[in-house]
Structure 1
Amino acid sequence: MASARTEGESGPATDPSLTLALAYAPRDARPVFDDLFALDRRLADAVRQASEPIIGQLKLAWWRDRFAQDRSDWPKGEPLLARLAAWDADVSQLASLVDGWEALLAEGPLAEEAITAFGEGHADAWALAAAALGHPGPPPPDHAALLWSYADLAQHCSTSEDVERVQAAARGQRLLDQTPSRLPRALRPFAVLGTQGLRSLRSGRPMMSAGGDFLAAVRTGMLGR
């Protein structure tokens, strides 16, 4: 596996980065953010817990098959699917997030194509969540999504070489040259995560690992950037 999620992977309820960002979600928008990050961590678990790439691929294929179906045909009994079915958006596009996670299952060093697919999958999913909240853009949350997803990937890479590959990809895409665009109030959690990702990628430290990171994130949560 090119890059593995390490032991102790946390979910939306316990990840400090997400917990802080979600504190700035308006009450009526919070369910969409909860659903988005719950799905992201379910896909992360499929990759992290796979003893062989084929096992992870099979688990991810289940989700891809669901997003290829009309939501009315989704199986009953999966609470997350039931919540996603309520989104006012084209949920078939969430297959891009599945593809991004699957790219990490390739053998050998983490390839630039896999890093790009991972980032683009998150950018697509964040844009879809924004549309579900009535904010399809402009500006879309793409920049913030790439910053956070790359930073999250870097801090969970299994080798220092893969960490450098992620950081090099971010630099090559010029993601670190500017701060994310100001987003609507309903999308404030995305802005907070983008700020965390930017500081992490610039410093080479994990997100929320220094006091200044917390203060910068809070400032973004309050002011929008």
Structure 2
Amino acid sequence: MAQDRTTALNGFEGDPAIQLALAYARASDRPLFEALFALDRRLADAVRQASEPIIAQMKLAWWRDRFAQDRAEWPKGEPLLERLAGWSADVSRLGPLVDGWEALLQEGPLNDEAIAAFGEGHAMAWSVAAKAVGQGEGSPRCVALLWAYADLAAHCSSPEDAQRVREVARKEGLLDQAPPHLPRPLRTLGVMGALARRSLRSGRPILSGGGDFLAGVRTGMLGR
């Protein structure tokens, strides 16, 4: 079934790559980035844990509907919504992140269009997060795409799907040069981009090869 395309993820709290990246967030920004990771994992769970695609679509539709609403109309009692409601950015633009996860529900092998939708949704989400930490539209699309593709490839349930993700990243030119230098408030994304590029180029899981940790630390300290 389509939702079996990717294997289950633990919460981001157990992901060493994300924890390394978060270590370089400013203390004031870390809760915001944690909320974005939590949202991404909530959407991932909707796709991966549903017994039928229609159930996943219904769960994703709930989030899409929230982002189409004014945040003042959001239902009370959902802690993650309460965290997102505090962002000083246009949270309605998080809708494409939902669309990107829904693209994975298609039947058959993962295709380029679904992979691109997944990547663009994540790039948009990081653009919103960048605005929320005072960086305008300062989140480089290429860095967010690197992370999205590496994370997707690492959790594909078939080697063929994982290879297709890496091929899309290569065709988009993301592996040809190092990610750009990022300002201090976006150092978390910079670490993610550095780790993701190494993963996509090698075909190894994120933060699993020799030198990966040091590359992440160097990027966290220097920005590239």
- TM-score above 0.5: yes
Partner of 2:116: 116
User: What's the CA shift string for 1:15-54, capped at 9, x where partnerless?
Assistant: 1110100000010111110111000000000011011111
Equivalences, count: 223
The Cα of 1:181 is off from its aligned counterpart by 1.2
2:133 matched residue in structure 1: 133
Paired residue secondary structure (2:217): helix
Residue equivalent to 2:13:
13
Q: Which residue of 2 aligns with 1:166?
A: 165
- Which residue in 2 is equivalent to 1:89? 89
Q: Could you say if the C-alpha distance between residues 111 and 3 of structure 1 is closer, same or farther in structure 2, counting changes exceeding 3 Å?
A: farther
Equivalent pair of 1:99/1:121 in contact (CA under 8 Å):
yes
Note if contact 2:143-2:190 (Cα within 8 Å) is conserved in structure 1. yes
* Structure 1: distance between partners of 2:58 and 2:137: 34
- Deviations 1:145-186 (CA, angstroms, capped at 9, x unpaired): 100110110011111110111011001101101111111101
Q: What SS is found at the alignment partner of 1:211?
A: coil
In structure 2, what is the Cα distance between the partners aligned to 1:120 and 1:188? 20
User: Which residues of 2 match residues 200-211 of structure 1 at below 5 A?
Assistant: 200-211=199-210
Query: C-alpha separation between the residues in 2 aligned to 1:115 and 1:154?
Result: 10
SS of equivalent residue, structure 1 residue 179: coil
Counterparts of 1:22 and 1:142, CA distance in 2: 19
Mapping of residues 187-198 of structure 1, within 5 Å: 187-198=186-197
Compute the displacement of 1:2 (Å).
Answer: 6.5
Report the Cα distance in structure 1 between the residues aligned to 2:3 and 2:69, rounded to whole angstroms. 30
Partner Cα distance (1:3, 1:105) in 2: 9
User: 1:73 — aligned with what?
Assistant: 73
TM-score norm. by structure 1 comes to: 0.97
1:138-157 matches, within 5 Å, as 138=138, 140-157=139-156
| Runs (5+) with no aligned partner, structure 1 | none
**Paired-residue identity, %:** 66
TM normalised by structure 2 equals 0.97
Whole-Å Cα distance in 2 between the matches of residues 34 and 141 of structure 1? 19
Give 1:80 shift: 0.5
Is the CA contact 1:12–1:41 (under 8 Å) kept in the aligned structure 2?
yes
How far residue 210 of structure 1 moved from its aligned partner, in angstroms, is 1.5
Render the CA deviation track for 1:39-72: whole Å, top value 9, x for unaligned.
0000000011011111111100000000000000
Please give the alpha-carbon distance, in whole angstroms, between the structure 1 residues aligned to 2:44 and 2:21: 19
CA contact (8 A) 1:123 1:142 kept: yes
